Amino acid sequence: MSQTSSVAASPPSMRAPSVARRNRKRQVRGTLPVLVLFLPPALLLFTVFVILPMGEAAWYSFYNWNGYGLPTQWIGTKNYELIFNNAAFRQALINNGLIIIVSILVQIPLALWLATMVTHKIKGAVLFRLLFFLPYVLADVAAGMIWRFVYDGQFGLVAGIFNTLGMEAPFWLADKQAAMPALLGVIVWKYFGFHMMLFVAGLQSIDKSVLEAADIDGATGWQKFFRVTLPLLGSTVRLSVFFGVVGSLQLFDMIMPLTGGGPSNATQTMVTFLYSFGVMRMQVGFGSAVGVVLFIICVTLAFGYKRIFMKND
């Protein structure tokens, strides 16, 4: 009887690996037509609009070229040497670093604090969410033009306030020392709503029973936030910081109508520097080198951050 039962029991266990293999083969056969249908067009578009332009920019960066005709004057790495010897580019690097620091230390904490406020069941919470998110909906160029008028020391809102107080109105955007802080204030105003909505979504996904358990255990508001809410928002915070860092390296649309990188290159970022010193001055080879440097910095920070801080998300 034992031999018969063992023989009868062995075939299902032996058939299990073969059944799993057949299921995997069916799954592969099911996804293969989808890959064949959709992958080649996507790869073609990605190659034409991303890979090829990147390769061309890297190639042009080794030439002294104004964009007309074919590049013929090979200068090797001289464009890269000129970049890092350029005081305006070093200032642009510093400015991008300041924007990243302000985004992480001011913009994101402000967004998190406001998100915790508007997620409570208070009167007008939905209206407050809409008001805080509206600056992000506004086009960057339009925001830059609006704030250029606000900061205008002769006809703008700032001028009106100072004149009402009987004081001489400042021209912040024309002051090398004040232009960058003024720009940082606009950046915080413009983008904190986006991060706030990320945190609102994260807070709404937290199980309310966890917070109720903390209340039953006698936890204070700060203890609940730092020991319950913030750890559960870890993935959202890391994603928000990632967006803040990458977005800070790509700022362009709002800066150009607001300051144009001035005064005296005091508000240049790497992208505005590329536009001002590469495109506008028809130094395509030099601008391509700036683009390559910007690409390397963005890719290094993005992949390094995801590798270190978001590997489990």
Share of the chain above pLDDT 70, in %: 90
Q: How many CA atoms lie within 13 A of 158 on its CB side?
A: 16
Q: What is the pLDDT of residues 172-215, one digit of tens each?
A: 999 999 999 999 999 999 999 999 999 999 998 888 888 888 88
Distance CA 60, CA 285 (A): 5
Collect contacts of 286-292 with beta carbons under 8 A, ≥24 apart: 286/79, 286/82, 286/83, 288/56, 288/57, 288/58, 288/60, 288/61, 288/79, 289/61, 289/79, 289/80, 289/82, 289/83, 290/83, 290/89, 291/57, 291/61, 292/57, 292/58, 292/61
Write out the DSSP string of 63-118: B---SSS----B-TTHHHHHHHT-HHHHHHHHHHHHHHHHIIIIIHHHHHHHHHHH
pLDDT of the residue at 102? 95
Q: What is the pLDDT of residues 268-295, one digit of tens each?
A: 999 999 999 988 988 999 999 999 999 9
- 3-class DSSP state of 156: coil
Q: Which residues contact 91 (CB under 8 A, 6 or more apart)?
A: 265, 266, 268
Distance CA 48, CA 29 (A): 29
pLDDT tens for each residue of the chain, 313 residues long: 444 444 444 455 455 566 666 666 666 666 777 777 888 888 899 889 888 988 998 999 999 998 888 888 999 999 999 999 999 999 999 999 999 999 999 999 999 999 998 887 777 788 888 889 999 999 999 999 999 999 998 888 999 999 999 898 899 999 999 999 999 999 999 999 999 999 999 998 888 888 888 888 888 888 888 888 899 999 999 999 999 999 999 899 999 999 999 899 999 999 999 999 988 988 999 999 999 999 999 999 999 998 888 887 7
Distance CA 83, CA 56 (A): 19
- 3-class DSSP state of 154: coil
Q: Kindly report the pTM of this predicted structure.
A: 0.84
Distance CA 13, CA 152 (A): 80
pLDDT of the residue at 212? 84
pLDDT of the residue at 100? 95
Task: Give one word for 218, left, alpha or beta, with left for phi > 0 and alpha for psi -120 to 50.
Answer: left
Contact 192, 109 (CB under 8 A): no
pLDDT of the residue at 46? 87
Domain assignments of the chain as residue spans, ordered by start: 1-60, 78-308
Q: Which CATH number is associated with domain 78-308? A: 1.10.3720.10
Task: Return the DSSP state at 310.
Answer: S
